[in-house]
Amino acid sequence: MKTNVAKLGAILLLALLALSLTACLCCLPTARRLVREVAEPTPVYVQREAAVATPTALPPQVIQQADAEEQLLINIYKRVNPGVVHVRVLAPIDLGDLAPDLPESHPQYQEGTGSGFVIDKEGHIVTNNHVVAGAEEVQVMFHDGTSVRARVIGTDPDSDLAVIRVDVSASELYPLVLGDSDRLEIGQRAIVIGNPYGLRGTLTVGIISALGRSLPLGRESEVLGARFTIPELIQTDAAINPGNSGGPLLDSQGQVIGVNTAYDPEATGVGFAVPVNTLKRVVPKLIADGRYAYPWLGISGSDLSLDLIEAMDLPVERGAIVINVTPDSPADKAGLRGSDETVQITGRELLVGGDVIIAIDKQPVEQFEDILVYILRNTEVGQKVTLTIIRDGREQSVQVTLGERPSK
């Protein structure tokens, strides 16, 4: 009997142990979650100070180069600005039919402004023709504010150059050094000093953007008053504005390389200057004679285009076609022929049939401007030149005696 009771107690004990173990196993996932939640605390966000960017220090040589650039411009301005002047003019207004009842004793005047620069100790100052054209009174203001009257010595509408003169002591004049525009390179520094909008002594800086430009100025031009195309102009992105006309364009040595003459009002950074080598050729004549006599051929034309080459079945790819020959001109007397036929090409009417000039004095002509540049640089009135032309598909030579460009 005792044995049975002992066995029954042992069985009950084993059952209780099994139930306890099952309960523990059932709670194991919950226990694991509790452990995990305790082991993985809630993140704590700590506010940190914003990082401050520290610029990389410039190498000493870079700073030195920047300082050298600044000192270069400062030095040029100090040396050159005393030789740059502010030109003010008064010119009568031609009212014509706008005010027919206005008494002649009460003329109306308009004021103009521009720039100029001293070229010698005799008081000669170079400016633009369009600055002083038609002026009855010209005043010059120097860098120190001194104003004096000036008189016009000579003008040349076809290069847009003019010379005026002031009577002051030589000690008060600071002539600028003239450079060489034939040695210019695209990309080199270009510096302008002048009086844009009447703001005296303004310096702007840029580069030479292009060389050998020409302004398409015909006889009716209202921009500069020129009757013929002005060739070989220097193009620059240095700021040129109204009032800069006639002032110097300078290189990094402070030498004059051009005379600022025009800008494109519809484009930013497109200005033009007459090359200083044109000044060297024209200005001495303006001082001596008051005018410059240009050798003259008497034709108008254009560059050869692919359409013209194909339409005329030309044996050349470069050259200049003669469009018009001025009656009784040197070209007319030599028998040059203009274009007297028209063809329709892709809806356009082209003039064809004229002589095609491919060389002048054995110098190749690749575009029409080459003829003008050669004549201006290398010839005089009365000189003979030989033109190599293509006429009726054949090459031949024509000799022309240059005349003087007409004044009207």
∠ CA 138-128-143 to the nearest 5 degrees?
Answer: 60
Q: Which residue has the tokens 């207004």?
A: 93
Query: What's the residue count for the chain?
Result: 408
C-alpha to C-alpha distance for 157 and 220, rounded to whole angstroms = 12
C-alpha to C-alpha distance for 262 and 242, rounded to whole angstroms = 9
Strands 271-275 and 230-236: antiparallel
Q: Which of 337, 312, 343, 309 has its CA nearest to residue 322?
A: 337
Backbone angles phi, psi at 147, to 5 degrees: -115, 135
Backbone angles phi, psi at 57, to 5 degrees: -65, 135
Q: Which of 319, 292, 290 has its CA nearest to residue 380?
A: 292
The domains located in the chain, with CATH, are 76-92+110-289 (2.40.10.120), 295-404 (2.30.42.10)
C-alpha to C-alpha distance for 15 and 342, rounded to whole angstroms = 123
Backbone angles phi, psi at 378, to 5 degrees: -120, 0
* Contact (CB, 8 A) for 86 and 113: yes
Burial class (CB in 10 A: 0-12, 13-18, 19+), 150: buried
Catalytically active residues, by annotation: 130, 160, 245
What are the CA-CA distances from residue 81 to residues 69, 164, 205 (Å)? 18, 18, 14
User: How does pLDDT run along the chain (408 residues), one tens digit per residue?
Assistant: 445 545 555 555 544 444 444 444 344 444 444 344 444 555 555 556 666 667 777 787 777 777 788 899 999 999 999 999 999 999 888 665 555 565 565 677 888 999 999 999 999 999 999 999 989 999 999 999 999 999 999 999 999 999 999 999 999 999 999 999 999 999 999 999 999 999 999 999 999 999 999 875 433 333 334 457 788 999 999 999 999 999 999 999 999 999 999 988 877 889 999 999 999 999 999 999 999 999 999 999 999 999 999 999 999 999 999 999 999 999 999 999 999 999 988 888 889 999 999 999 999 999 999 999 999 999 999 999 999 999 999 999 999 999 999 876
* Contact (CB, 8 A) for 134 and 92: yes
* Contact (CB, 8 A) for 107 and 95: no
Q: Which residue has the tokens 């009417």?
A: 349
Q: Which residue has the tokens 């103009």?
A: 112
C-alpha to C-alpha distance for 107 and 95, rounded to whole angstroms = 9
Q: Which of 161, 193, 164, 150 has its CA nearest to residue 261?
A: 161
